């Protein structure tokens, strides 16, 4: 689920949020400050996280960690996958012990 849907309603909501000061202008956003491979800090500005409706701490390139599934079905799927993975691991260990 990459970019938010660029619908007309979405554009309008962002425009209104910018005018109301909820979304700060780019030149007043904090720096990303992620450590780059050549050891300097990222000078790009932080993003506004539309899905969570607050400032993100990193730029569009660095993003930061995913906070995991958000929908009920996604959470359920993640837990099922976790249980399945653990069962497989336990089975493999039991086989190796023989």
Binding site residues, Zn ion, CB under 5 A: 32, 34, 42, 44, 59, 61-62
Nearer to Zn ion, 23 or 32 (CB): 32
In the complex, minimum distance from the CB of residue 70 to Zn ion, in angstroms, rounded to a whole number: 23
Tokens representing 12 are 């309008």
Tokens representing 54 are 């607050």
Nearer to Zn ion, 19 or 65 (CB): 65
In the complex, minimum distance from the CB of residue 3 to Zn ion, in angstroms, rounded to a whole number: 17
In the complex, minimum distance from the CB of residue 60 to Zn ion, in angstroms, rounded to a whole number: 8
- Could you tell me which of 32, 22, 26 has the C-alpha nearest to residue 57? 32
The answer to whether 71 and 79 have CB atoms below 8 angstroms apart is no
Nearer to Zn ion, 22 or 45 (CB): 45
How many whole angstroms separate alpha carbon 69 and alpha carbon 76? 9
In the complex, minimum distance from the CB of residue 62 to Zn ion, in angstroms, rounded to a whole number: 4
Nearer to Zn ion, 60 or 75 (CB): 60
Alpha carbon separation from 5 to 1, 2, 29, 46, 60 (Å, rounded) = 10, 9, 23, 20, 16
């Amino acid at each position: 689920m990459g970019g938010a849907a660029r619908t007309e309603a979405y554009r309008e909501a962002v425009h209104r949020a910018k005018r109301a000061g909820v979304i700060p202008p780019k030149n007043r956003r904090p720096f990303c400050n992620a450590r780059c491979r050549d050891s300097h800090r990222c000078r790009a500005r932080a993003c506004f996280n539309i899905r969570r409706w607050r400032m993100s701490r990193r730029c569009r390139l660095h993003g930061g960690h995913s906070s995991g599934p958000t929908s009920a079905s996604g959470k359920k799927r993640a837990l099922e996958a976790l249980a399945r993975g653990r069962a497989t691991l336990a089975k493999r260990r039991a086989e190796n012990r023989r």
